[in-house]
Structures are given as C-alpha cells and as structure tokens.
Amino acid sequence: MDFKRKDILGLQDLSAEEIELILDTAEPMKEILGRELKKVPTLRGHSVVTLFYEPSTRTRTSFELAAKYLGADTASIAVATSSVQKGESLRDTAKTIEMMGIDVIIIRHAAAGAPHLLSRYVKARVINAGDGAHEHPTQALLDMFTIREKKGRLSGLKVAILGDIAHSRVARSNIWGLTKMGAEVRVIGPPTLMPPDIHKMGARVFYRWEDGLKDVDVINVLRIQLERQQKGLFPSIREYTRLYGLDEEKLRCAKPDVLVLHPGPVNRGIEISPEVQDGPHAVINEQVKNGVAVRMALLYLLMGRGEEDVLTA
C-alpha cells in the first residue's frame, strides 16, 4: 500500500490500513536505531523544520533526530526568540519558512486546528505535533507501536486512559487510533475532567478506577495539568492522587501482565507513584525510543523513497 497523504494532521482522518502501514514502517526504523552508526541517506537533500509555539522535550527532539538519522537537514524555530514575538502571524511565519526550501513543517500550537490551517497555506507537508486539546497523532502512533510490540496485537485489547481526559490531545488521538485498530478503549477520570461527548468517539466512560481498570491489558496514564488546578477542577492534588493516581493497589485491578504507559512529562508521585513509574509494568522509556522510530517512519512515508531505500537495503 502506498501512503498518499500530503500531511499528518490527526488520527481521526487516517484509516486502519494507513495506521498499520505507519506502524509496520516503524519496525525497520527501530532496527536502524539499534545500529552503532544510525545514519542512512534515504532523505538526503530533504529538509525539515520544527515550529513549536509550546514547550516540548520529547516530540521536538525526536523529530529532529528522526530527520537527521534519515539524512535530512533540519532547522528549529524557537518561537520565544523568533519574529513571532514582533507580531508575525502563523501564516506569514510558515510562508517565510517555506520560501527557504523546507519540505516538512512540524508544528505544535496551543490553538486546536492550527496545523490544519497551516496545511492550507503552504505546499510543504505539515505534521501536527500537538494542537491545543485536539490531537497529538504522533504520540498516539508511538503509544500504539509500543503496545503492539509488547502485546503482539492491538485488536481485542482493553486499554484504559486514566486522568485528565478533557484537556488531553493524547487521549483524543489514542481513542481515534485504538478504536480503529479494534481495541476497546476506556476513559477513567473525575467528572470535571471528562468531556460530556467523549462516548461518541467510541470510548467507554468510567469515573471509578475500581470499575474502569478491571482486567485491562494496558493503562495509559495522563499528565495532570497542574495549571488546571487554579480553576478548581479537582479539590486538591492530594485528593486527585488518592482517587486517580496509579499506584500498586490500583494496578492489581488490571491483568497481571498489564502495560503502563505515560506520554511524559511525568508529575512524579502525582498521577503515577514512583513504584509504578519505575516498576516492571512501565514502558515509559521504551515509548521515548519508539517515538524516534515512528517519527522516522512518518518522515519516510511523507517524503517518499530516496536513492537508498532503508526498507529494501
């Protein structure tokens, strides 16, 4: 199957076949990451820019490394020290970058829909690295890659997403992706952090961990967005941790071989206890490594085969 998309804007738009192709393509990319010399010339002559209006450690760095490992040139726009501070619009910033010969723009923005808007303004390919509370497709793809790698499949698994569902783009992309791939998705959190229509996306809604975590194969723990605490959406951090923080007692409710994921950054000891974060069920560090492989796969699929094809070399 050929990948015919210009952009990667969200998992809502992608078919199960396209998602499978991305995950399959990430496998040889991960093999490259295990080599002593990680660089291949597949995307030599192509160029990638990261344009992040919000902070990031994992997503931005892994995209930059993914592009470099495939031989592409990279540039990074630090919005805090760019002409955005002088009032330049997103459209003008993007057009300026494009005129420098960029092939792919990877954007993170606080406004939902910003990557979609950008994709209409520029001929360059656009990858959504997180837009508001809307989608974070590359995070969900690396989560699915990690689950599939460990469990051998996605179809038929019970996957719980635990925490602040309302403000989470990671939750939305995971729900779109996992349901398309045949998993049962449960969302667990306090009513104040649960969007009213979330069941329409195909997720089962639970407010009590005792019900939601029962016999699940995977738990994806979300970062509690401490900035929301100002808005009184839960009584206190301590209360949140008691009711929804993943600890060893709650973990016992799931299947004995449950996998624990977290997209990072982690509020250690708040949404997940240190014993679980550092324990045998957690695959949080592997998610980071798989993030590079999945982003290499996306750049490869979007920019096409180069003169030396990593999949046939």
Nearer to ligand CP, 42 or 128 (CB): 128
# binding residues, ligand CP (CB under 6 A): 9
| Distance in angstroms (rounded) separating the CA atoms of residues 79 and 255 | 44
Nearer to ligand CP, 169 or 250 (CB): 169
> Is the CA virtual torsion 50, 56, 62, 68 positive or negative?
positive
- Specify whether 42 is catalytic: no
| 46, 109, 125, 136: the active-site residue | 136
Minimum distance of ligand CP from residue 101's CB (angstroms): 26
Query: Among residues 298, 311, 303, which one has the least CA distance to residue 19?
Result: 298
Half-sphere exposure of 159 (CA within 13 A, CB side): 32
Q: Which of residues 109-148 bind ligand CP (CB under 6 A)?
A: 130, 139
- Select the span of 34-42, 177-185, 228-236, 257-265 touching ligand CP (CB under 6 A): 257-265
- Specify whether 58 is catalytic: yes
| 4, 86, 123, 200: the active-site residue | 86
Minimum distance of ligand CP from residue 312's CB (angstroms): 32
| Distance in angstroms (rounded) separating the CA atoms of residues 143 and 152 | 13
Quick one: tokens of 262? Answer: 């977290």
Minimum distance of ligand CP from residue 1's CB (angstroms): 28
Q: Which of 127, 263, 277, 284 binds ligand CP (CB under 6 A)?
A: 263
Decide: is 155 part of the binding site for ligand CP (CB under 6 A): no
- Specify whether 39 is catalytic: no
Nearer to ligand CP, 56 or 82 (CB): 56
Minimum distance of ligand CP from residue 130's CB (angstroms): 6
Amino acid at 52: F
Helix 284-303 × helix 16-33 angle, to 10°: 110
| 46, 108, 109, 148: the active-site residue | 108
Q: Which of residues 15-74 bind ligand CP (CB under 6 A)?
A: 56-59
Nearer to ligand CP, 156 or 265 (CB): 265
- Specify whether 268 is catalytic: no
Q: Chain-centre distance of CA 218, in angstroms?
A: 16
Residue 19: its H or E element: helix 16-33
Query: Among residues 206, 223, 217, 152, which one has the least CA distance to residue 184?
Result: 217
> Is the CA virtual torsion 143, 220, 53, 166 positive or negative?
positive
- Specify whether 116 is catalytic: no
| Distance in angstroms (rounded) separating the CA atoms of residues 90 and 96 | 10
| 59, 93, 138, 146: the active-site residue | 59
User: Between the CA of residue 34 and those of 22, 28, 30, 53, what are the distances in Å?
Assistant: 19, 10, 7, 32
Nearer to ligand CP, 129 or 310 (CB): 129
| Distance in angstroms (rounded) separating the CA atoms of residues 310 and 130 | 28
| 58, 68, 116, 289: the active-site residue | 58
| Distance in angstroms (rounded) separating the CA atoms of residues 154 and 149 | 9
Give the residues lining the site for ligand CP (CB under 6 A).
Answer: 56-59, 130, 139, 263-265
Which positions are annotated as active-site residues?
58-59, 86, 108, 136
